[in-house]
């Protein structure tokens, strides 16, 4: 589990494709590797990767074909800048939101507009993630926890402050840049609850969000 607060910007040092996917080596930049162990998880542009080898300045991880299919790793090349975050600890300050490191879709930056000291980024929104993108809700872009400020039928907008721009790879985004998107994990589970309720509607129970459903599911007392 991660928080979406980026700890460092690294880069792809090597990527070797094989029959099972790929082995990647990531240069870690300023990321503190002193407490990293084999088997630890490091979110790399929002993708949870397991460390299989490491030293003071880099780590290696295996990327499955499934991950290559559904994330930006399919087009990453040596030198690609990546956001890095180590898995959170029980004592970690929770500065972002719950991030699993499981990417839901790859979206593209549609347009960029400077507004005062901030920057507005409009991203495309596919039908598969549209139900989970909500005004003022949380979303993870390349591992960064961000707030959705506007939503249209097929796009959503993020307002990025200078600090986030300086501490992440967002400064390198331009129209057409592909980014990894993870929707709010709470939205995923809520959908599952509603889906189960809908499937049980034949028993005489009403489908949809009801007070009884929220109480039964622990959202209300």
What is the predicted pLDDT for the residue at 187? 75
Task: Show Cβ contacts of residue 10 under 8 Å, excluding neighbours closer than 6 positions.
Answer: 26, 27, 28, 29, 31, 44, 81, 82, 84
What is the predicted pLDDT for the residue at 190? 73
d(CA 52, CA 33): 14
Q: Other C-beta atoms within 10 Å of 195: how many?
A: 11
What is the predicted pLDDT for the residue at 52? 98
What is the predicted pLDDT for the residue at 3? 92
**CA 22, 23, 28 angle in degrees (round to 5)?**
130
Do 21 and 62 touch, CB atoms closer than 8 A?
yes
What is the predicted pLDDT for the residue at 195? 62
What is the predicted pLDDT for the residue at 97? 86
Which of the residues in the chain have pLDDT under 50? 202-203, 206
């Amino acid at each position: 589990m991660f928080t979406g607060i980026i700890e460092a910007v690294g880069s792809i040092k090597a990527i070797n494709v094989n029959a099972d996917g790929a082995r990647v080596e990531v240069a870690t930049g300023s990321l503190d590797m002193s407490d990293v162990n084999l088997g630890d998880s490091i979110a790399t542009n929002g993708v949870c990767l397991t460390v299989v080898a490491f030293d003071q300045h880099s780590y290696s991880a295996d990327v499955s074909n499934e991950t290559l299919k559904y994330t930006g790793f399919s087009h990453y090349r040596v030198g690609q800048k990546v956001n890095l975050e180590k898995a959170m600890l029980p004592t970690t300050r929770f500065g972002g939101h719950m991030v699993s490191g499981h990417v839901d879709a790859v979206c593209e930056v549609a347009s960029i507009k400077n507004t005062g000291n901030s920057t507005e980024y409009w991203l495309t929104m596919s039908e598969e993630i549209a139900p989970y993108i909500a005004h003022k809700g949380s979303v993870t872009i390349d591992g960064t926890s961000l707030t959705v400020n506007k939503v249209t039928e097929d796009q959503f907008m993020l307002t990025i402050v200078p600090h986030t721009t300086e501490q992440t790879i967002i400064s390198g985004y331009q129209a057409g840049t592909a980014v990894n998107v993870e929707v709010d994990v709470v939205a995923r589970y809520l959908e599952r609850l509603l889906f189960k309720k809908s499937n049980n509607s034949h028993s005489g129970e009403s489908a949809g969000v009801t007070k009884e459903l929220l109480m039964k599911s622990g959202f209300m007392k």
